[in-house]
Amino acid sequence: MPAIPISFNRFLCLLFLQVPVIPAAFGQLPEFNHAQMEWLGQQIFKNECNQKYECLTSWNQGEDFPSLGIGHFIWFKTGQTEPFAETFPTLLEHYEHSNYELPKWLADSENRDSPWRNRKHFLAEIHSERMQELRQFLASTTDLQVDFIAQRLSNSTETIFSQLSQEQRQSLESSFYKIANSHKPYGMYALIDYVHFKGTGTVASERYQEQGWGLLQVLLELQGNKQPELTDFVAAATTVLERRVANAPKERREQRWIAGWRNRLQSYLPNN
pLDDT of 52-75, one tens digit each? 999 999 999 889 999 999 999 999
Q: Print the domain residue range for 252.
A: 162-272
Asked, for residue 118, whether it belongs to a domain, the answer is yes
Cα separation, 111 vs 80, in Å, equals: 13
| Domain match, 179 and 267 both | yes
Choose among 160, 164, 161, 155: nearest CA to 202: 160
Asked, for residue 34, whether it belongs to a domain, the answer is no
| Domain match, 187 and 126 both | no
CB 225 within 8 A of CB 232: yes
269 pLDDT more than 90: yes
State the greatest distance between any 2 C-alpha atoms of the chain, in Å, as a whole number. Answer: 55
Range list of H helices, the chain? 9-17, 34-49, 88-97, 104-107, 119-124, 129-139, 142-161, 166-180, 186-198, 215-221, 230-247, 258-266
Mean pLDDT of the chain: 88
| Domain match, 254 and 175 both | yes
| Domain match, 88 and 184 both | no
| Domain match, 129 and 178 both | no
Asked, for residue 222, whether it belongs to a domain, the answer is yes
| Domain match, 180 and 139 both | no
Asked, for residue 17, whether it belongs to a domain, the answer is no
172 pLDDT more than 70: yes
| Domain match, 145 and 166 both | no
Asked, for residue 185, whether it belongs to a domain, the answer is yes
Distances (CA, A) of 114 to 49, 67, 176, 182: 20, 11, 35, 39
Cα separation, 229 vs 144, in Å, equals: 31
Residue pLDDT, tens place only, 4-40: 655 544 544 444 444 444 443 456 777 767 777 778 7
Looking at 117, 149, 181, the residue that finishes a domain is: 149
* Cis amide prior to 185 (ω within 30 degrees): yes
In the chain, how many domains are there?
Answer: 2
Three-state SS string across 76-88, please? Answer: CECCCCCCCCCCH
| Domain match, 113 and 200 both | no
Choose among 223, 203, 228, 224: nearest CA to 213: 203
